[in-house]
Amino acid sequence: MNVQTFTYQVTGGQPAYPTVTRESRYRGPVPRVLTLEELDSYRTNMPEAEKEAYLRRVRRVIDNPNLCGPGMLPSTILVMIGQVLGGMGRLAEAEEAMTDAVTMEKAEGEPHPGAWLAGFLVQQDRYDDATQVFADVRLDNEAGPGEYDIYAGAYESADEFEKAETTYLIGIRIAEREGDTWHGDSLRAGLERLRKKVEPAEADGDDHAQQLLDAAGLALFWPRAEHAEALRRWPHLAQWLGEDWDEHRRNVECALADFQAQGIWPLILMADPDDYLAELRGEPDRRSLAVYAMSIPDEDPVSWPPESDEPCWCGSGRDYEVCCTLPAND
Ligand SMILES: [Zn+2]
């Protein structure tokens, strides 16, 4: 009797949980509004078998932006479509989705889609293309700490440690300048993680650090006494710092004028031999100079150019117009 009752309860209970319930939930033809949270959960833990259905769903949302949840634009969704497609090995489609995203309006507070595209290209070992895409983001004044974090992370994942290091460093600089502690912490954590993984990079003629420095409009300047001391300690640095201080000042002035001509806001960073030594990892060379420059905090940068009747930036005490100003029409 007891057994019969028990059996009845089990079999009798089944109709209360019809198996179609779960199915009909998925079969529903009405596309719901897609929220950022939902999109994010899709991206991070979506079973392989559900990816195609996911792609269909989010493509419907792009065709009908009314289905975009708050704070979300089609560009956000396209980036994530690109990431999912990339994970499925459908690289051409992934690139197409992300490239479309770059041309669209960017959602407020979201990283620029170009940063994701650049990171994606790094994953494909297409460094030149990635550099070009990221340069475009920069020229649009959209390359902030969040964008550098994405870009640096891509280099780190690709085991391009040197590029990752310099990209983290420049991102940290920008985070400091903008007072963005959240991304600053994330970038610093990335740099720390990276430096635990790798030995100091060997000099291999890679200009990446210098390129980033130039991109940020930063010039490293050694005041007269510091310049003399640097050349005393590391005579071979003369090939980058100038044989004497006049040559060095001229080089810096030329670099700053170049930045300005490119529409980049130039800043002068004051160098110090002891600080350089403290930052030095590996050989004292051009790369290490650029990496050192990126470690100098932006607390008191010297902006350029001064007014012509103001003291020159080089610290000579003379007016700018009779000191380091380059001859006109040169
Ligand atoms: Zn001067």
222 C-alpha to center of ligand 1: Å? 12
Cα distances from 326 to residues 219, 261, 302, 313, in angstroms, run 16, 13, 18, 13
302 C-alpha to center of ligand 1: Å? 13
Average pLDDT over residues 309-320: 92
pLDDT at 28 over 50: no
249 C-alpha to center of ligand 1: Å? 7
Residue type (1 letter), 169: L
67 C-alpha to center of ligand 1: Å? 60
**Residue 222: which of 195, 241, 205 has the closest Cα?**
241
Q: Which of 150-154, 248-252, 254-258 has the lowest mean pLDDT?
A: 254-258
279 C-alpha to center of ligand 1: Å? 27
**In sequence order, what are the beta bridge partners of 270?**
221
CA 187 distance to own-chain centroid: 9
Residue of 243 and 202 predicted with greater confidence: 243
What is the rounded distance in angstroms from the CA atom of residue 294 to the CA atom of residue 288? 10
Domains defined for the chain, CATH in brackets: 28-211 (1.25.40), 216-322 (no CATH)
pLDDT at 318: 93
pLDDT at 235: 96
224 C-alpha to center of ligand 1: Å? 11
pLDDT at 232: 97
Calculate the dihedral angle through the C-alpha atoms of 99, 104, 107, 108, rounding to the nearest 10 degrees.
Answer: 110
pLDDT at 231 over 90: yes
Question: In a 3-state reduction of DSSP, which class is residue 312?
Answer: coil
Instruction: Identify whether the C-beta of residue 320 lies closer than 8 Å to the C-beta of residue 308.
Output: yes
Residue with tokens 């940290």: 172
What is the rounded distance in angstroms from the CA atom of residue 284 to the CA atom of residue 276? 9
Cα distances from 23 to residues 18, 52, 282, 286, in angstroms, run 10, 17, 61, 63
pLDDT at 25 over 60: no
Instruction: Count how many Cα atoms sit within 13 Å of the Cα of residue 180 in the half-sphere of its side chain.
Output: 19
314 C-alpha to center of ligand 1: Å? 4
Q: pTM for the complete prediction?
A: 0.59
226 C-alpha to center of ligand 1: Å? 15
321 C-alpha to center of ligand 1: Å? 9
Specify the DSSP class assigned to residue 221. Answer: E
Instruction: Identify whether the C-beta of residue 137 lies closer than 8 Å to the C-beta of residue 112.
Output: yes
**Residue 268: which of 243, 298, 248 has the closest Cα?**
298
264 C-alpha to center of ligand 1: Å? 21
319 C-alpha to center of ligand 1: Å? 8
Q: Residue 9 contacts by C-beta under 8 Å, 6 or more apart in sequence?
A: none
Cα distances from 81 to residues 8, 20, 42, 249, in angstroms, run 49, 30, 10, 50
pLDDT at 109 over 70: yes
Per mean pLDDT, which of 29-43, 227-241, 291-305 is the most reliable?
227-241
pLDDT at 245 over 70: yes
**In sequence order, what are the beta bridge partners of 68?**
34
**Residue 149: which of 123, 116, 178 has the closest Cα?**
116
**Residue 172: which of 153, 158, 191 has the closest Cα?**
191
pLDDT at 14: 37
Average pLDDT over residues 200-225: 74
